[in-house]
Amino acid sequence: MSNIHPTAIINPKAEIDSDVEIGPFCVIDEDVRILKGCKLYNNVSIYSHARIGENNIFYPGSVISALPQDIKFDGGFSEVIIGNNNTFRECVTVSRGTHATNKTVIENNSLFMAYAHVGHDGRIGNSCILANSVALGGHVHLEDYVILGGLVGIHQFVSVGKYTMIGAHSMIVKDVPPYTLFSGNPLCFEGLNVIGLKRRGFSAEAINTLKSIYTLLYSAGLNVSQAVDKIKNEFKVEKEVAEVISFIENSRRGLSK
């Protein structure tokens, strides 16, 4: 208990590992679980039904597992599930799920910069970066290694594919396929996220293949169905190619153009 500041208010029904550090004026509700290595600076609020893994850091003003901002939500059980090694900077907010999925999920190793918001029923993959004031609507899915620039807004139910980078101030209303670079309002395809892929160890062959399939998708004058058929006919449907096709075929809102 020596790691808990005396001004913190902690419900006795919260489960907190012994080495968790909790700073001044934090509030932790009942039915909250916080595992080892976590640190809460001052004025952090963790509401009911938060499941927080190991080595997460919460900066002042963070609010985790508050009720979903959905007027249809009429109460009842839902959760926020957070993995390991995430950083939540000042005033980050993460909403609980609704009855649609009953949970908002954040995986591991992501950075949420100041004032970022993760809406209800969201799913955030591994090693994502959300810059300052990024706003994710309800049911938004980010796959692994997504980078969102400052003040990006994402419409509810949108999915963003892995290894994608979105430029600052962009507004996203349709799905963004993996390995790409987009920016602007209206959103515009800028090409492949080549620098990001090189940093993550993608081979020259893989990058060239992805360039070719995105040329078919965005620059060959084909509609999406025609482009996918051509990609299936001209490339081995494995590895990155299979990821792109699967993302397109499972798109919930259609592709960003």
Q: Which residues are catalytic?
A: 120-121, 138
Q: How many residues does this entry show for the chain?
A: 257
Burial of 6 (0-12, 13-18, 19+ CB in 10 A): exposed
Task: Tell me if 54 sits within 8 A of 85, measured CB to CB.
Answer: yes
Burial of 76 (0-12, 13-18, 19+ CB in 10 A): exposed
Report long-range pairs for 22-26 (Cβ below 8 Å, ≥24 apart): none
Task: Tell me if 34 sits within 8 A of 3, measured CB to CB.
Answer: no
- Cross-strand partners of 195: none
Report long-range pairs for 216-223 (Cβ below 8 Å, ≥24 apart): 217/177, 217/255, 218/189, 218/257
Measured over the CA atoms of residue 87, residue 150, residue 93 and residue 171, the dihedral's sign is negative
Task: Tell me if 118 sits within 8 A of 112, measured CB to CB.
Answer: yes
